[in-house]
Amino acid sequence: MAINKIGREIPDYIEGIGELKSYEGPFSVEPAKRRFGRKISTITPKQSKILEDIEQAIIETGLKDGMTISFHHHFREGDYIINMVVDTIAKLGIKNITLAPSSLNSVHAPIIEHIKNGVITKIETSGLRGSLADAISKGILEYPVKIRSHGGRARAIEAGDVKIDVAFLGVPACDEYGNANGHSGKSFCGSLGYAKVDAQYADKVVLITDNLVPYPNVPASIAQTDVDFVVKMDAIGDPKGIVSGATRYTKNPRELLIAKYAATVIKESGYLADGFSMQCGTGGASLAVARSIKQTMIEKDIKASFALGGITGQFVEMLEEGLINKLYDTQCFDLTAAKSIGTNPNHVEIDAGFYANPHNKGCAVNVLDIVILSALEVDTEFNVNVITGSDGVLRGASGGHCDTAAGSKLSIIVAPLIRGRIPTIVENVNTVITPGETIDVVVTDRGIAVNPLRTDLIEKLSKTNLPIFTIEELKEKAEKIAGKPKAIQYGEKIVALVEYRDGTIIDVIKEVK
């Protein structure tokens, strides 16, 4: 057992998982490995890649007991692929599989049955939601889930920490030789940024599509040179669950107040200058901050060099209006963004490694100026929880949270001080996804706290009319209103390991009683 840099107890070793390294700071790991190389396999000129169905694909890839399979989460709650593939693996009698998708959603509840019947014995993912998350929090899996950030997953795959035997990737448009993108078809999702990494590193790659298009399907997010097999099906997802319509602006006065404060912090920080860059979430407050930034940009004739991350229609609009020069997109968050990426050459698809892998020669978050992030909880060390609820149950995703916080020049958390009568600012967060030393400012509806490490920002912001407090003062305000939150009753079993983007363990999550 070790105590890591943020004071969490981390086991040195877990049976079935191996040795664990403790988190020692955001840039403390110097990578010493070589990049992972998948098995070279070749397809000769007259060989077809088209297979009948998923069952044939599983057989042809040689999938066996104990192997690792991967998927992407671009179809979100509309995804059919994971359940179909795992059902078929179960039917074929294959067991003891590690499920390593880029993320999991509520729609993947049927995986519970495949954990019970021994088909799935390990899971590695960015997020978990719904009844599958509940079951895991209650200890249904023998081995702890590994939670990784988007950049951390790309790092792990590129370093060979995750060795994908077979990637099963749903693709909205694909030709017979495996050139695929997310631009068209009934299941269109826009960027395939997470899938790109799997396609490049998995030993075997199976594309599953409901939209076979003529060769060559270019520009391609996934290239023929990475694809072993193509399976055509009637439906790979539910369009209603894949992309949401246009994002609505919040009218919630509390969110609007948070946004107003955050926008002022940004303006006063000095980072809102010509050529700046930004990433925003999809929450009401985040979007309202972006809208306010846009107003300032127009008034002061400021242009952004790029916007990054999951992209919304709001950024697409700003791109089209000439306020943003380029969009770097790993994941399209709405219909407008998904449509834009297929048509606007300045809306550029990037993979998760380019986005946020800390162990390449310079990922995009490294050059990000401003990021607006959400939080379930923030503690007095500025550590942030975005994965476990106030009941200690898994219900979120690591996503790009810790990646962008580490890379950006100004990371801002926007959150209400109290949420459903539960304080957001607490003594100790249940689970740390993002270490406090990478968080610069916390903005709530009842006040703003600046990380004491950022004396430059404290100096700048203390000259304004903003309601600046220490983080302890915010915590006390919250407790005064909602009371001190009751400690969660955890069991002894570790149900999840939270891996920091560099591969060290920043926290563990225990079973809820």
Q: How far is the CB of 324 from its own copies (least distance, A)?
A: 11
Strand order in the sheet with 229-232: 50-51, 229-232, 204-209, 166-171, 68-70, 97-99, 120-125, 145-147, 490-499, 505-512
- H-helix segments, 160-283: 193-201, 239-242, 253-269
Q: How far is the CB of 433 from its own copies (least distance, A)?
A: 19
Nearer Cβ to its own copies (128/319)? 319
Q: How far is the CB of 345 from its own copies (least distance, A)?
A: 6
Nearer Cβ to its own copies (389/407)? 407
Q: How far is the CB of 230 from its own copies (least distance, A)?
A: 11
Q: How far is the CB of 277 from its own copies (least distance, A)?
A: 9
Whether residue 349 contacts residue 341, with contact meaning beta carbons closer than 8 Å, is answered with yes
Q: How far is the CB of 166 from its own copies (least distance, A)?
A: 13
Distance CA(210)–CA(147), nearest Å, equals: 30
Nearer Cβ to its own copies (40/487)? 40
In one letter, which amino acid is 386?
V
> What is the phi-psi region of residue 275: left when phi exceeds 0, alpha when psi lies from -120 to 50, beta otherwise?
left
Residues in the chain: 513
Distance CA(319)–CA(327), nearest Å, equals: 7
- Residues in the site for its own copies, rule: CB under 8 A? 27, 30-45, 47, 49, 158-160, 177-178, 205, 214-216, 218-219, 223-228, 275, 305-306, 325-326, 328, 345-346, 348, 353-354, 357-367, 406-407, 409
Nearer Cβ to its own copies (78/503)? 503
Distance CA(167)–CA(196), nearest Å, equals: 10
Nearer Cβ to its own copies (351/379)? 351
Whether residue 311 contacts residue 327, with contact meaning beta carbons closer than 8 Å, is answered with yes
Q: How far is the CB of 360 from its own copies (least distance, A)?
A: 4
Q: Identify the DSSP state of 353.
A: H
Nearer Cβ to its own copies (23/261)? 23
Q: How far is the CB of 134 from its own copies (least distance, A)?
A: 37
Nearer Cβ to its own copies (92/302)? 302
Distance CA(137)–CA(99), nearest Å, equals: 17
Nearer Cβ to its own copies (403/507)? 403
Distance CA(111)–CA(145), nearest Å, equals: 13
Distance CA(124)–CA(17), nearest Å, equals: 11
Q: How far is the CB of 227 from its own copies (least distance, A)?
A: 6
Distance CA(16)–CA(181), nearest Å, equals: 36
Whether residue 235 contacts residue 54, with contact meaning beta carbons closer than 8 Å, is answered with no
Nearer Cβ to its own copies (50/481)? 50
- Sole residue written with tokens 């359940």: 83
- Sole residue written with tokens 């070790």: 2
Backbone angles phi, psi at 416, to 5 degrees: -70, 150
